Amino acid sequence: MQLAKYMQGDVTVIALDGRLDSGTATRVQQDLEALVPEGAPVLLDLSRVSYMSSAGLRVLLLVYRQANDSGARIALAAVPRDAYEIMAATGFLDFFTVSDSVADGVTALSA
């Protein structure tokens, strides 16, 4: 799993690329904790996530809690269909603003 951080206006975009599963979850969580700025809007671009297990969903929930505690707003963009369906069924989508694209996510967080 690779992570890349870049700015789009005042929104921090973190792009994830690869598998988010039990083998990568701990490292991804640590990396995201270091990359998420306090009090700023953050968009997680999931367009290149090839697989997400329950361990990956847990990482997203923990990052949401960290962002929420620091006053940051967090959103998801381009959630893979299979992960989206699981997130919808389990209530995870109640925590996040979800957009179809990075551009839409940036717009939503900038509003």
41 Cβ contact list (under 8 Å, min separation 6): 10, 11, 12, 72, 73, 74, 75, 109, 110
Q: Is the pLDDT of residue 76 over 90?
A: yes
CATH number for 9: 3.30.750.24
Whether residue 108 is contained in a domain is answered as: no
Write out the residue range of the structural domain in which residue 20 sits. Answer: 2-101
The half-sphere exposure of 63 on its side-chain side, counting CA atoms within 13 A, is: 30
Which pLDDT belongs to residue 5? 96
Does residue 67 sit within a domain?
Answer: yes
Average pLDDT over residues 82-89: 90
Eight-class DSSP state of 79: -
Q: How confident is the model at residue 79 (pLDDT cuts 50, 70, 90)?
A: very high
Domain count, the chain: 1
| pLDDT tens string 17-53 | 999 999 999 999 999 988 888 889 999 999 999 999 9
- For 58-71, b/e burial (b = at least 16 CB within 10 A) is ebbeebbebbeeee
The rounded mean pLDDT for the chain is 93
Percent of the chain clearing pLDDT 90 (strictly above): 72
| DSSP state letter for 86 | H
Tell me the average pLDDT across 53-59. 92
Is 107 part of any domain?
A: no
Is residue 18 domain-resident?
A: yes
Residue 71 is assigned to a structural domain of this protein: yes
Residue 6 pLDDT greater than 90, yes or no? yes
pTM (predicted TM-score): 0.93
pLDDT value for 70: 87
Q: Assess if residue 106 is contained within a domain.
A: no
